[in-house]
Structure 1
Amino acid sequence: MRAVTMGLIQLHCTPDPEANIERTISAIQDAATKGAQIVCLQELFHLQYFPQRVAMENYNLAQPTDGPLLERMGRVAAELGIVLIVPFYERAGKGMYFNSAAVFDADGTMLGVTRKNHIPESPQYYEKYYFSPGNTGYPVYATQYGVIGVGICWDEWFPEVSRILALRGAEILFFPSAIGSEPEHPHISTKRAWEKAISAQGIYNGVFVAAVNRVGQEDQMTFYGGSFVSDPFGEIKESLSDQEGLLLCTVDLTDISFARNLLQFLRDRRVETYQPLLELENFQAGGKVHAKGRLDSRK
């Protein structure tokens, strides 16, 4: 048995970043006291979700990787002896900004930074104004408590992300998120779709998945929480409601081998047939699809 205990921290953010940091650190300490070995925070953990609006002054919220915010969080990881995933707004250079997550090992060492690759753009999710597409690829991190991968919010909806992370050895996929109401469709909730889409990625990759969301009203949006951990068969092991909370979940990483041996999705891949996935445009354009699904490229 290879047991590891995860702690997911689901909070409501106020307009005061320092107050959010203090509350988060208190929650991290609580998680560690209760046995958490890997703790993951929500997307942009110490800020309200500012991409609801386009405002140039919000660029001032970004932090460098060697700045006081991450130095402080690294000390927290070292003091508590935990792996800590810290999503933050990164200033990488003049005019260069990313939606990022730093990963600290249990001794406080920063193992690296994952930058969000898929950047959404829709009403009140104006992220393309604030974030460049990530350029770190899909790294995995060999921590003291297991090999982990990170995808940030919109990344979690793309199956290619989890497949790459799994193939690179990730045992747990962490998805820090900020997802809630759809302002142009107030009668629709994406919560069940979000939960199913993410937990399914655990099935076809044979990994554990941990998704962390925020909660509460921020400006014009309401975030629905629902943070959860699912196993390699997509079963939800633990979850939170739409209130603030700490989710603790202990998993056995040896379950991964059993799931992959039973459902041989990785063995039976046909990578030589996947070229259409590398084409941005509709690969059927200019051709006809026969009744049996064969593409006829003749005019």
Structure 2
Amino acid sequence: MENGKVKVAVAQVDSHLGKLERNVEDHLEVIAEARSDGVDCLLFPEMSLTGHSAGHLALEMAIARDHDFVTRLAQAAGPMCTTFGLIEEGPAAQFYNAAITVRDGRVIHLHRKINLATYGQLDDGKHFAPGRYIETFDLGGGWRAATLICNDLWNPALISLAALHGATLLLAPVSSAREAVGATFDNPGSWDIACRYSSMVYGMPMLFANRVGQEGEMSFWGGSRIVDAFGTTMACADEAVGLTTATLDFEQVRQARARLPTVRDSNLDLLVRETTRLQHDLGVPETVRRR
């Protein structure tokens, strides 16, 4: 990373359902390739270590953030910021659809999926506890990243919260199949609109990593991409396994946010006041509001 420029990559992989060790080995190969290419920030898809449909295998597949597999990936990543997906076992034997970010041999960030998808052919809510926080982490050179997992990005409030927490780069690990929502819903086309819109509105580049391959009746369409701060797609993959890379310049973020100051004009006081009023009107108990 130099003068606010960061080389980023999305890893489009075909994860093997329920085969943790094999997926770890595949991740290590991709990490080595990305490091040799000078990548500063690498993103894998949602649940990349377990496969998309592994929720029913949570008791077997869940690992803690200090597991040996996580340590191996952290050591292999070295100075390259690397984010991958897994089933995390948190405190009190709770299971989460999570994304862990590692750098310099250690875990630097963990995001637990908040907006669990339980519709169509998706059943996150049957297997996982929801996350409760939006946090960001420093990449250097002005860059600050937030991670939102798949269906999190269909809740505009979560994207807005990430931006208000200071994110200037959005990491979007996804596991999107053509059939996930229903036959009449255009998943690839809808994601294209969502990615470009969110990046353009907030002046926030996005790394979108989707998987490929087949799991049962679910066919994953790839299309991993890198979108700049003006909502322009810089690079986009087809349906093949591989790395997609681009170089982002923080100067562009500065220009985008000066021209379209969405973050500046978000009016946080108004949002807090109206959200609190809405909760009161809906009769939400005070103890629930504080969570």
The TM-score normalised by the length of structure 2 is: 0.87
Q: Percent identity?
A: 22
Is 1:100 the counterpart of 2:88 in the alignment? Answer: no
The superposition leaves residues 214-249 of structure 1 with CA deviations (integer Å, 9 ceiling, x where unpaired) of 011111201111111111111001110122121111
**Separation (CA, whole Å) in 1 of partners of 2:45 and 2:172:** 8
**Separation (CA, whole Å) in 1 of partners of 2:16 and 2:222:** 15
SS at match of 1:266: coil
Counterpart for residue 68 of structure 1: 68
Cα drift, residue 124 of structure 1: 2.5
Gaps spanning 5+ residues in structure 2: where? 283-291
Is 1:186 the counterpart of 2:188 in the alignment? Answer: no
**Separation (CA, whole Å) in 2 of partners of 1:238 and 1:92:** 35
**Separation (CA, whole Å) in 1 of partners of 2:164 and 2:91:** 32
Is 1:13 the counterpart of 2:15 in the alignment? Answer: yes
Alpha-carbon distance change, 132 to 143 in structure 1, aligned in 2, over 3 angstroms: same
Conservation of the 8 A alpha-carbon contact between 2:225 and 2:235? yes
Counterpart for residue 229 of structure 2: 232
**Separation (CA, whole Å) in 2 of partners of 1:196 and 1:66:** 37
Counterpart for residue 288 of structure 2: none
Is 1:153 the counterpart of 2:171 in the alignment? Answer: no
Cα drift, residue 144 of structure 1: 4.3
Q: CA RMSD in A?
A: 2.2
Cα drift, residue 276 of structure 1: 5.0
The superposition leaves residues 92-121 of structure 1 with CA deviations (integer Å, 9 ceiling, x where unpaired) of 14541111111223x223212111111110
SS at match of 1:121: coil
SS at match of 1:24: helix
Counterpart for residue 286 of structure 1: none
Q: Which amino acid aligns with 1:180?
A: A
**Separation (CA, whole Å) in 2 of partners of 1:42 and 1:182:** 18
Alpha-carbon distance change, 199 to 281 in structure 1, aligned in 2, over 3 angstroms: farther
Conservation of the 8 A alpha-carbon contact between 1:157 and 1:198? no
Counterpart for residue 3 of structure 1: 5
**Separation (CA, whole Å) in 1 of partners of 2:264 and 2:146:** 21
Alpha-carbon distance change, 206 to 184 in structure 1, aligned in 2, over 3 angstroms: closer
Conservation of the 8 A alpha-carbon contact between 2:153 and 2:159? yes
SS at match of 2:99: strand
**Separation (CA, whole Å) in 1 of partners of 2:234 and 2:164:** 23
Conservation of the 8 A alpha-carbon contact between 2:178 and 2:188? no
Cα drift, residue 182 of structure 1: 2.3
Cα drift, residue 254 of structure 1: 1.3
Alpha-carbon distance change, 207 to 66 in structure 1, aligned in 2, over 3 angstroms: same
Larger Rg over CA atoms: 1
**Separation (CA, whole Å) in 1 of partners of 2:270 and 2:127:** 36
Alpha-carbon distance change, 90 to 226 in structure 1, aligned in 2, over 3 angstroms: same
Counterpart for residue 249 of structure 1: 246
Alpha-carbon distance change, 282 to 217 in structure 1, aligned in 2, over 3 angstroms: farther
Alpha-carbon distance change, 183 to 39 in structure 1, aligned in 2, over 3 angstroms: closer
**Separation (CA, whole Å) in 2 of partners of 1:281 and 1:224:** 43
Cα drift, residue 211 of structure 1: 0.7
Cα drift, residue 212 of structure 1: 0.5
Alpha-carbon distance change, 48 to 267 in structure 1, aligned in 2, over 3 angstroms: closer
Conservation of the 8 A alpha-carbon contact between 2:71 and 2:106? no
Counterpart for residue 143 of structure 1: 139
Q: How many residues were matched structurally?
A: 276
Per residue, is there more helix in 1 or in 2? 2
Alpha-carbon distance change, 272 to 64 in structure 1, aligned in 2, over 3 angstroms: closer
Alpha-carbon distance change, 209 to 280 in structure 1, aligned in 2, over 3 angstroms: farther
Give the alignment partner of residue 80 of structure 2, picking from 79, 82, 86: 82
**Separation (CA, whole Å) in 1 of partners of 2:30 and 2:48:** 12
Q: Which amino acid aligns with 1:96?
A: Q
The superposition leaves residues 132-173 of structure 1 with CA deviations (integer Å, 9 ceiling, x where unpaired) of 1103x1110013463211001111112222222222221210
Compare 151-160 and 266-275 and name the one that shifted more: 266-275
Alpha-carbon distance change, 183 to 45 in structure 1, aligned in 2, over 3 angstroms: closer
Alpha-carbon distance change, 18 to 109 in structure 1, aligned in 2, over 3 angstroms: closer
Cα drift, residue 30 of structure 1: 0.7
Conservation of the 8 A alpha-carbon contact between 1:179 and 1:223? yes
